[in-house]
Amino acid sequence: MFFSFFCDAQQEYFQQRVNYKINVNLHDENSSLSATEEINYVNNAPQALDFIYFHLWPNAYKNNSTALAKQLLWQGKTDLYFSKPEERGFIDSLNFKVNGKSVKWEYDKEHIDICKLILNEPLQSSDSLIITTPFYLQIPNAKFSRLGHTDQAYYMTQWYPKPAVYDRTGWHQIPYLDQGEFYSEYGSFDVKITLPDNYVLCATGDKVINADEEDFIKKKISDTEKEIERRKGIKNEASTEDFMPASSKLFKTVEFKQSRVHDFAWFADKRFYVLKGELELPHSKRKVNSWVYFTPKNLKLWKDAIEYVNQSTTFYSFHNGDYPYNNVSAVDGSIMAGGGMEYPNITVIGEVSNAMELEMVITHEVGHNWFYGILGSNERDTPFLDEGINSFYEMRYLRAKHPEIKVAALAGKDSTFKLFGLNKIPYWKYQEIPFYVNLRARKDQAIALKSTEFTTSNYGGIVYSKTSLVMDYLMDYVGESVLDSAMRIYFDNYKFKHPSPNDLFKTLEAFTGKDLRDFQKHLIYSTDHINYKLKKSKRQEKGYALTLKNKTGSILPFNIYAYDKNNKVLGVHWFDGFADKRTVTLPEEAHHFKIDGIDRMPDINRKNNSIKAQGLFKHERPLRFNFLSSFEQPSKTQINYSPVIGGNFYNGPMLGLALHNYGFYEKRFEYLVSPMFAFNTKTPVGFAEFNLNFYPKSVFRSITLGTKAKTFAYDFYDTQFMNDNLGTNFKDLYLNYYKIAPYLKFEFKKKDPTSKITQQITYTNNNLFTDSLDTSAYQTFAVSGPIKKNNYTFINQLSYDLNNTRTVDPFRFNFSLQHTGSMAKVSAALNYQITLTKKHAIDLRFFAGAFLAGSLEERSYYAFRASGYNGWHDYAFEGNYLARNERNGVGFSQFMERDGALKVWSPLGQTPEWMTALNVKSPKFLKIFKVFGDVVVGDARALNTDKFLWDAGINIVFWNEIIEVYIPLLYNADIKKTLELNKVSFPNTIRFSFNIHKLAVKSILQNSFF
Ligand SMILES: [Zn+2]
Summarised one tens digit per residue, pLDDT across range 237-255 is 666 667 899 999 999 999 9
Q: What residues contact residue 554 under an 8 Å CB cut-off, 6+ apart?
A: 518, 522, 523, 528, 529, 530, 577
Nearest residue to 544 (alpha-carbon basis) of 606, 621, 614? 614
Q: What number of other Cβ atoms are within 10 A of residue 200's Cβ?
A: 17
Q: Check pLDDT > 90 for residue 1008.
A: no
- Distance in angstroms (rounded) separating the CA atoms of residues 938 and 936: 7
Give the residue ranges of DSSP H helices in 266-304: 299-302
Q: How far is the CA of 145 from the centre of ligand 1 (A)?
A: 15
SS (H, E, C) 147-211: CEEECCEEEECCCCCEECEEECCEEECCCCCCCCCCCCCCEEEEEEEEEECCCEEEECCEECCCH
- Its pTM stands at 0.94
Average pLDDT, the chain: 94
Please provide the DSSP assignment of 501-531 as one string: HHHHHHHHHHHH----HHHIIIIISS---B-
Write the DSSP symbol of residue 374: I
Q: Check pLDDT > 80 for residue 338.
A: no
Q: How far is the CA of 606 from the centre of ligand 1 (A)?
A: 28
pLDDT in tens, 814-865: 999 999 999 999 999 999 999 999 999 999 999 999 999 999 999 999 999 9
Q: What number of other Cβ atoms are within 10 A of residue 651's Cβ?
A: 24
Portion of the chain with pLDDT greater than 70, in percent: 98
Check if the beta carbon of residue 523 is closer than 8 Å to that of residue 501. no
Q: At 1005, which helix (H) or strand (E)?
A: helix 1001-1007
Please provide the DSSP assignment of 83-152 as one string: --GGG--EEE----EETTEE-EEEE-SS-TTEEEEEEEEEE-TT-EEEEEEEEEEEPPBTTSSSSEEETT
Q: How far is the CA of 202 from the centre of ligand 1 (A)?
A: 20
Distances from the Cα of 870 to the Cα of 291, 816, 866, 874, 900, angstroms = 66, 20, 11, 7, 12
Nearest residue to 137 (alpha-carbon basis) of 105, 104, 108, 113? 113
Q: How far is the CA of 66 from the centre of ligand 1 (A)?
A: 24
pLDDT in tens, 612-661: 998 888 888 899 999 999 898 888 999 999 999 999 999 999 999 999 99
- Distance in angstroms (rounded) separating the CA atoms of residues 612 and 620: 8
Q: How far is the CA of 368 from the centre of ligand 1 (A)?
A: 7
Task: Give the three-state DSSP class for 329.
Answer: strand
Task: Give the three-state DSSP class for 320.
Answer: helix
Beta-carbon-side half-sphere exposure of residue 43 (alpha carbons within 13 Å): 21
Q: What number of other Cβ atoms are within 10 A of residue 299's Cβ?
A: 18
Q: How far is the CA of 387 from the centre of ligand 1 (A)?
A: 5
Check if the beta carbon of residue 153 is closer than 8 Å to that of residue 47. no
Q: Which residue has the higher pLDDT, 255 or 231?
A: 255
Check if the beta carbon of residue 996 is closer than 8 Å to that of residue 880. yes
- Distance in angstroms (rounded) separating the CA atoms of residues 930 and 924: 5
Q: How far is the CA of 601 from the centre of ligand 1 (A)?
A: 23
Q: Check pLDDT > 70 for residue 193.
A: yes
Q: How far is the CA of 260 from the centre of ligand 1 (A)?
A: 21
Q: How far is the CA of 838 from the centre of ligand 1 (A)?
A: 29
Q: Check pLDDT > 60 for residue 264.
A: yes
Q: How far is the CA of 365 from the centre of ligand 1 (A)?
A: 6
Q: What integer pLDDT is reported at residue 4 of this predicted model?
A: 38
Q: What number of other Cβ atoms are within 10 A of residue 594's Cβ?
A: 22
Q: What integer pLDDT is reported at residue 440 of this predicted model?
A: 95
Beta-carbon-side half-sphere exposure of residue 865 (alpha carbons within 13 Å): 21
pLDDT in tens, 445-502: 999 999 999 999 999 999 999 999 999 999 999 999 999 999 999 999 999 999 999 9
Q: How far is the CA of 579 from the centre of ligand 1 (A)?
A: 36
Portion of the chain with pLDDT greater than 90, in percent: 87
Q: How far is the CA of 454 from the centre of ligand 1 (A)?
A: 15
Q: Check pLDDT > 60 for residue 672.
A: yes
Check if the beta carbon of residue 376 is closer than 8 Å to that of residue 352. no
Q: What residues contact residue 245 under an 8 Å CB cut-off, 6+ apart?
A: 198, 270, 271
